[in-house]
Amino acid sequence: MNGYLILENGKVFSGKLLNDCRMAGGEVVFSTAMISYQDIITDPSYYGQIVVMTYPLVGNVGFNEKSFASRRAMVRGLVLREATDFPSHYEMKTDLISYLNENEIAVLTGVDTRALTRVLRNEGTMGGVISDSLDNMEWLLKKAQQASQELRGDLVQYVTRGNIRAFGDSRSNKKVVLLDLGTKRGVIDSFVRRGCEVIAVPANTAAEEIINLNPQGVFISDGPGDPRAVPYAVETCRKLIGKKPLFGVGLGHQIIALAAGAEIYRLAFGHRGTNHPVKNLENGRVYITTQNHGYCIDENSVKDTELEITMRSLNDGSIEGVRYRGLPVFSVQFDPESYPGYSETGFFYDDFIDLF
């Protein structure tokens, strides 16, 4: 079946719809990841987005139980050059298209993803609609514009957990409260593997309630959208600074910055992929990191806070890590340990635990 991606700037990219989902609207972004498509599709940080995969062939190893970032699909659409016809892996439980069909996620293939990515890089992230028809172009453009605006609000409410849940050994003397803004399953596993008990709480949990749980530290998770749209999480974080050791990742990194008095701005096309180089300013080491974010800390605003910049992106020089002067509070913009694969930045979890 013929299909189309209509961007809010009026540009149209044609392809083939591979499933029965004939309409999807969302923020159109691109990821440079060569692998980890299952992680991307199920990562809460991608909630509401139509993801363009720049790698030309996707789906080679199907889907397996180990690589789910969460228990459901979070993207609204997937745009590919080609989806493999013959996936194969000894742990595969289902294939890419079957999974997307089951979760009613639109998938458009046969698209010139190089040309599409150049548009997004040059003109910035924008709203878009996947459709099986161009008959009502005016209406489609309006839907594309609406999709972009809708994703500027509070997205955390759609991906956070509904109640408090404990993971790991309840006898552990290393208790971590995880403020769930849309966390990945691998984050909880990372703490549990290190002998921690993890108490995951909803995003709107008050600071007083978190303190009453008597944790040794508080982790502010990653999640989707604009951190300025979740002032309740910023206020919680602000009240916790100086009370408990804090570690933030992704959206949690931006929340800590806002709580410390810094400001946030929207990147033109964001950082999304598994190959982003980041430099540690303290020891000069460079790490290849996994990222998915569309917002960043405004460097001009940092000088008026107690934050120190600890890491930078080598792609555009943007802030990738901060630390609070004199207090056990730090954060990084990237995902320090994706589940289940290799990571060279998992030591940040150890650094946080060492603060207890």
Residues forming beta bridges with residue 279, ordered by sequence position: 286, 312
172 and 50 within one domain: no
Q: 177 and 72 in one domain? A: no
> Count of domains in the chain?
2
Residues 16 and 73 in one domain: yes
In contact, 197 and 174? CB cutoff 8 Å: yes
Which pLDDT value is given to residue 338? Answer: 53
143 in the same domain as 50: yes
The verdict on 75 and 223 lying in the same domain is no
- Does the N-terminal peptide bond of residue 87 adopt cis geometry, omega within 30 degrees of 0? no
Q: State whether 140 and 178 are in the same domain.
A: no
Rounded Cα gap, residues 303 and 319, in angstroms: 13
Structure tokens at 65: 């139980």
Question: In this structure, are 288 and 146 located in the same domain?
Answer: no
Cβ contact 274:38 at 8 Å: no
pTM: 0.94
Residue 303 shares a structural domain with residue 330: yes
Residue 181 DSSP symbol? S
Please identify, among 150, 178, 203, the residue that sits at the C-terminal boundary of a domain: 150
**pLDDT attached to residue 343:** 62
| Residue 123 and residue 240 share a domain | no
Predicted local distance difference test score (pLDDT) of residue 65: 86
Q: Report the CATH number at residue 199.
A: 3.40.50.880
- Residue 303 to residue 44: CA distance in whole angstroms: 32
Boundaries of domain holding 47: 2-150
**306 and 339, same structural domain?**
yes
Q: How far is CA 49 from the centre of its chain?
A: 11
Q: Are residues 217 and 256 in the same domain?
A: yes
> Token pair for residue 170?
């309840």
For residue 237, CA distances in Å to 191, 204, 229, 242, 326 come to: 20, 11, 14, 10, 17
- The answer to whether the beta carbons of residues 145 and 128 sit under 8 Å apart is no
Instruction: From 100, 132, 150, give the residue that closes a domain.
Output: 150
CATH number for the domain that contains residue 110: 3.50.30.20
pLDDT values of the chain reduced to their tens digit, one per residue, 356 residues = 899 999 999 999 999 998 777 789 999 999 999 888 999 999 999 999 999 999 999 999 999 988 899 989 999 999 999 999 899 999 999 999 999 999 999 999 999 999 999 999 999 999 999 999 999 999 999 999 998 888 888 999 999 999 999 999 999 999 999 999 999 999 999 999 999 999 999 999 999 999 999 999 999 999 999 999 999 999 999 999 999 999 999 999 999 999 999 999 999 999 999 889 999 999 999 999 999 999 999 999 999 999 999 999 999 999 999 999 999 999 999 999 754 445 678 899 999 999 99
Q: Which of 108, 129, 150 is the last residue of a domain?
A: 150
Closest alpha carbon to 26 in 129, 137, 155, 118: 129
Question: What is d(CA 26, CA 9) in angstroms, rounded to the nearest whole number?
Answer: 14
Q: What pLDDT score was predicted for residue 341? A: 46
| Domain match, 73 and 100 both | yes
Please say whether the beta carbons of 36 and 64 come within 8 A.
no
d(CA 295, CA 254): 8
